[in-house]
């Protein structure tokens, strides 16, 4: 019997009576008759709905999430084309370039047939068993590619091709704070102080210029303007490194860091997936009264704020790019001061197998003190990951002909036991002897051990446990420089003999116990010890905690043979307790709190207060507190408020006690000047995102407190992670203007370090209307396409006509023109010329009837 093919809709039923009968090949397929949609004998011919007959969608550009082997790799607009088979069925297939596939990790070089002649679309079938499926309802493109044809990336990897250097821009980050103290007793008059922190910058392509300057002033006549750093930098993507010229600090993983002015090339771990980022330490302390807190590092004042009585935490410090211990000064309202050292502790030195981390530094040492000695120096370090979890590292330092050192060490991953690293540094120094103005040669060694471990089963986490011992002849580069200072009268002043630091947290019954220990011995200068213990817990939304701090400083430089008679010792012990109870049932977003603070050499205070957030976006934080001091029978109190607005962050506060009344106030914010104008913002981090949604005023950005588009439709997302994908989403539920439409509400960006990346959203500003279209006495058929022709910003946007010629159109101006098409020929289209008179409407959608000519 012969079988022949026929048309796709022909169905013939025949018996096999004749052996030579040609039986047509039958194909069954759904067919939608567009005549069923024609109402009232519409004059235009039926619209072409063939693309919908198989349940498919019309070809065109769609914004989709791209998944390769179930892993999200990109979100972008992709062109889809209709493909058909011999049976007549069709489906949408993406038009992907070879470059796109390569950026997503496909080994395109192994499949030369991907390139198709006279086509910009890659031939995906050139990869055996590769396939693409478009899920229209989810706007998701699933691409399946054999694993052998895909590069294996670590989790969190972002292809280098997606890194965005951002736009050219001028930046200014500023912080201005001031305080006024009015003593209640004594002859001292009102004291005023001001502090200004400025961080301007310039972005030109991949190049970044940054400055960090501070200004201090008070009524005592003290005035200072300091430039913490000036530098120009850029990344070197091929080497996964950063290049910097200007003021910076050398890395601290092998040697103690040193501030310098010069040049440096060093590895940037943020360019690697799942790497550990740099950090600024969280600073904790306890204030006995309304106090002023100042943080200094390397001689620069980098942070200043006012805190109420009780335990406080500073977790919003701007990273200075350097290391070195920080000095914390708590100035109480009675004029007394507490001084604490906040160490910069580092984790064990480890690298993944095959990874080389390096740094090359050269320049001149730098200090904020003009009397400090400055020398030309150079430094090289290298850390390399070996097999079996072993890391080798080392380096060398050289300063003119007065100092040289060599370090060698190893780190090892001990698995269940933890991670450990150990190194030895040999140093040769020529130190200055101030008594006879001579130079003395010294050499010595320093041994350093670092350990960390997180024991999940027991809830124990040793963040850092370190120990360092130095012989008498060992000098760091900074120690050697100190001996040449103009005011140096003792070559051993401030030189560490040994140091131990431990940071431990332990999950215990009903809470978490934390421990911090620092112990340092100095050559001919005594020791410094500090122990902090804390316990924190919560029960049914009620949180409470205990904190205890013991600090001891001793100086035996006067007489090392008589520990009791001549030693100058300073010890203190502070205990605090705090509890916070939510009051959401009575006052939304608020808490009641109580704290107790007791010191060994001071009074005990009790404080009770309220704090919370307010306004629709919770961008107003407030606090009111009243206290009582037992020894003096004195009352204390304070009130503060912080507002995170679109253009800046404002704060103000008032506090009083038996000694003085204090007012403090400040403003922090950022300014970004770019090609489209100037945008004000909240305080900026180093890497930011500029939102561009022209005409979309007052639209909030999700997960960004207080961040909304300004009157032009621009906003700054003040923080973004470099070399990581950030999703920036606008909250359309709170769009205040009824005449605004957003074509898309979410953008993904991958900024490089220091970049200003623009996330641009297509907007339709104008009237929204439900329009009924008439054509020569009839109506436009179902499925016709309506598009703008006069508005350049709306070109390419289209709407589909529904029943009875109705179509929803956004972005209409006071007058304009629409093109309506239901076929491919010029006879299958018409034009709508409209004029709109503003009308009041509760829904924001106008009801219009227009003729199509």
Residues with Cβ within 8 Å of residue 7, at least 6 apart in sequence: none
Which superfamily does 43-149 belong to? PapC, N-terminal domain (3.10.20.410)
Q: Are residues 12 and 749 in contact, defined by beta-carbon separation less than 8 angstroms?
A: no
> What gap in Å lies between CA 246 and CA 155, rounded to an integer?
35
- Over 80: is that where the pLDDT of 52 sits? no
Question: SS3 for 284?
Answer: strand
pLDDT at 25: 45
- Give the residue, 768 or 402, on which the prediction is more confident: 402
Higher pLDDT among residues 569 and 360, named by residue: 360
- What tens digit of pLDDT does each residue of 310-337 get? 667 665 554 444 444 567 888 877 777 7
Q: pLDDT at position 119, please?
A: 80
**In the chain, % of residues over pLDDT 90:** 30
Tell me the C-alpha distance between 709 and 691, whole Å. Answer: 8
How is the chain split into domains, by residue range? 43-149, 282-342, 766-851
Question: What confidence category does residue 299 fall into, taking pLDDT thresholds of 50, 70 and 90?
Answer: low
Q: What is the 8-class DSSP label of residue 117?
A: T
Specify which of 162-176, 476-490, 510-524, 756-770 reaches the highest per-range mean pLDDT.
162-176
Contacts of 704 (CB under 8 A, 6+ apart): 717, 718
Topology match between the domains 43-149 and 766-851: no
Among 598-602, 637-641, 713-717, the least confident range: 598-602
Q: Is the pLDDT of residue 211 over 90?
A: yes
Confidence tier at 15 by pLDDT (50, 70, 90): very low
- The CA–CA distances, whole Å, from 88 to 28, 35, 83, 84 equal 10, 22, 9, 6
Reported confidence tier of residue 41, pLDDT bands at 50, 70, 90: very low
- Helix, strand, coil percentages for the chain (3-state, nearest 5): 5, 55, 40
Rounded average pLDDT over 369-375: 77
Give pLDDT, residue 274: 55
- Whether the predicted pLDDT of 428 surpasses 90: yes
Strands (E), 615-704: 620-629, 634-644, 649-656, 660-674, 677-681, 688-692
Contact (CB, 8 A) for 198 and 213: yes
Q: In terms of C-beta density within 10 A (0-12 exposed, 13-18 middle, 19 or more buried), how is residue 699 classed?
A: buried
Where are any strands of DSSP class E within 290-418? Answer: 291-297, 300-307, 310-314, 326-331, 337-342, 356-365, 376-385, 390-399, 403-413
Is 50 exceeded by the pLDDT of residue 268? Answer: yes
Q: What are the distances in angstroms from CA 251 to CA 203, 268, 379, 426?
A: 24, 11, 10, 18
What pLDDT, on a 0 to 100 scale, did the predictor assign at position 24?
Answer: 47
d(CA 379, CA 398): 7
Rounded to whole angstroms, the Cα distance separating 24 from 10 reads 8
For the residues 366-371, what does the mean pLDDT come to?
73
Contact 512, 502 (CB under 8 A): no
Q: List phi, psi (to 5°) of 502.
A: -135, 135
Q: Is the pLDDT reported for residue 366 higher than 70? A: yes
CA gap 60, 79 in Å, rounded: 6
CB 361, CB 375: distance < 8 Å: no
Of the pLDDT bands very low, low, confident and very high (cuts 50, 70, 90), residue 11 is very low
- 748/737 Cα distance (integer angstroms): 25
CATH T-level topology, domain 766-851: Immunoglobulin-like (2.60.40)
**pLDDT, position 563:** 44
CATH topology of domain 282-342: Immunoglobulin-like (2.60.40)
- pLDDT > 70: percent of the chain: 79
Indicate the DSSP class of residue 520: E
């Amino acid at each position: 019997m012969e079988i022949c093919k026929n048309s796709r809709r022909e169905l013939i039923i025949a018996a096999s009576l004749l052996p030579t009968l040609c039986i047509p090949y039958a194909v069954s397929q759904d067919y939608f008759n567009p005549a069923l949609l024609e109402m009232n004998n519409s004059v235009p011919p039926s619209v072409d709905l063939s693309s919908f007959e198989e349940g498919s969608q019309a070809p065109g550009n769609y914004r989709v999430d791209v998944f390769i082997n179930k892993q999200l790799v990109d979100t972008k607009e992709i062109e889809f084309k209709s493909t058909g088979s011999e049976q007549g069925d069709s489906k949408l297939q993406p038009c992907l370039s070879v470059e796109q596939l390569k950026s997503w990790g496909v080994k395109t070089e192994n499949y030369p047939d991907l390139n198709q002649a006279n086509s910009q679309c890659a031939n995906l079938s050139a990869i055996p068993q590769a396939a693409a499926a478009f899920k229209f309802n989810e706007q998701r493109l699933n691409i399946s590619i054999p694993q052998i044809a895909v590069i294996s990336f670590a989790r969190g990897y972002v292809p280098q091709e997606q890194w965005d250097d951002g736009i050219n821009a001028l930046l200014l980050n500023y912080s201005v704070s001031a305080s006024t103290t009015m003593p209640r007793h004594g002859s001292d008059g009102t004291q005023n102080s001001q502090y200004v922190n400025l961080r301007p910058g310039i972005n030109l392509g991949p190049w970044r210029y940054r400055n960090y300057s501070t200004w201090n002033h008070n009524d005592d006549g003290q005035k200072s303007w300091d430039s913490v750093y000036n530098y120009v930098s850029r990344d070197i993507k091929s080497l996964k490194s950063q290049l910097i010229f200007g003021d910076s600090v050398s890395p601290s993983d092998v040697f103690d860091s040193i501030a310098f002015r010069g040049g440096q090339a060093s590895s940037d771990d943020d360019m690697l997936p799942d790497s550990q980022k740099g950090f600024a330490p969280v600073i904790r302390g306890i204030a006995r009264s309304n106090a002023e807190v100042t943080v200094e590092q390397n001689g620069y004042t980098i942070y200043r704020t006012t805190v109420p009585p009780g335990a406080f935490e500073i977790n919003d410090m701007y990273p200075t790019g350097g290391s070195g211990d920080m000095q914390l000064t708590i100035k109480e309202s009675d004029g007394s001061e507490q001084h604490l050292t906040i160490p910069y502790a580092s984790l064990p030195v480890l690298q993944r197998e095959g990874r080389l981390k390096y740094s090359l530094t050269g320049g001149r040492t730098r200090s904020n003190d003009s009397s400090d000695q400055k020398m030309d120096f150079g430094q090289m370090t290298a850390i390399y990951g070996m097999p079996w979890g072993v890391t080798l590292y080392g380096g060398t330092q050289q300063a003119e002909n007065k100092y040289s050192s060599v370090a060698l060490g190893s780190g090892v991953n001990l698995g269940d036991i933890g991670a450990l690293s150990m190194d030895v540094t040999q140093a040769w120094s020529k130190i200055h002897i101030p008594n006879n103005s001579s130079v003395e040669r010294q050499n010595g060694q320093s041994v350093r051990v670092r350990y960390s471990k997180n024991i999940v089963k027991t809830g124990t986490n040793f963040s850092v446990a370190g120990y360092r011992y130095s012989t008498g002849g060992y000098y760091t580069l900074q120690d050697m420089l100190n001996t040449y200072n103009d005011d140096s009268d003792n070559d051993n002043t401030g030189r560490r003999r040994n140091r131990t630091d431990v940071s431990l947290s332990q999950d215990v019954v009903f809470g978490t116990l934390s421990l911090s220990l620092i112990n340092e011995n100095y050559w001919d200068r005594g020791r410094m010890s500090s122990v902090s213990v804390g316990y924190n817990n919560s029960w049914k939304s009620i949180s409470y905690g205990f904190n205890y701090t013991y600090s001891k400083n001793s100086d035996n430089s006067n007489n090392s043979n008589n520990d009791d008679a001549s030693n100058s010792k300073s010890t203190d012990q502070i205990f605090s307790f705090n509890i916070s109870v939510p009051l959401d049932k009575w006052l939304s977003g608020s808490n009641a709190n109580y704290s107790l603070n007791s010191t060994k050499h001071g009074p005990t205070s009790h404080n009770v207060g309220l704090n919370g957030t307010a306004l629709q976006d919770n961008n107003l934080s407030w606090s009111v507190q009243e206290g009582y001091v037992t020894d003096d029978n004195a009352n204390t109190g304070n009130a503060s408020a912080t507002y995170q607005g679109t253009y800046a962050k404002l704060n103000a506060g008032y506090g009083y006690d038996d000694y003085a009344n204090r007012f403090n106030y400040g403003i922090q914010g950022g300014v970004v000047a770019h090609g489209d104008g100037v945008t004000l913002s909240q305080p900026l981090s180093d890497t930011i995102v500029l939102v561009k949604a022209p005409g979309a005023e007052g639209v909030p950005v999700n997960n960004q407190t207080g961040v909304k588009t300004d009157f032009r439709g621009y906003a700054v997302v003040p923080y973004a992670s470099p070399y990581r994908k950030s999703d920036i989403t606008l909250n359309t539920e709170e769009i205040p203007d009824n005449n605004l439409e957003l074509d898309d509400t979410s953008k993904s960006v991958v900024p490089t370090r220091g970049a200003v990346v623009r996330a641009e959203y297509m907007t339709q500003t104008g009237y929204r209307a439900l329009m009924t279209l008439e054509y020569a006495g009839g109506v436009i058929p179902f499925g016709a396409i309506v598009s703008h022709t006069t508005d350049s910003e709306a070109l390419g946007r289209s709407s589909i006509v529904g029943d009875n010629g109705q179509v929803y159109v956004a972005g209409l101006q006071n007058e304009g023109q629409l093109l309506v098409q239901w076929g491919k020929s010029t006879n299958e289209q018409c034009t709508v010329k409209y004029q709109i008179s503003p009308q009041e409407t509760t829904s924001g959608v106008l009801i219009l009837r227009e003729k199509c000519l």
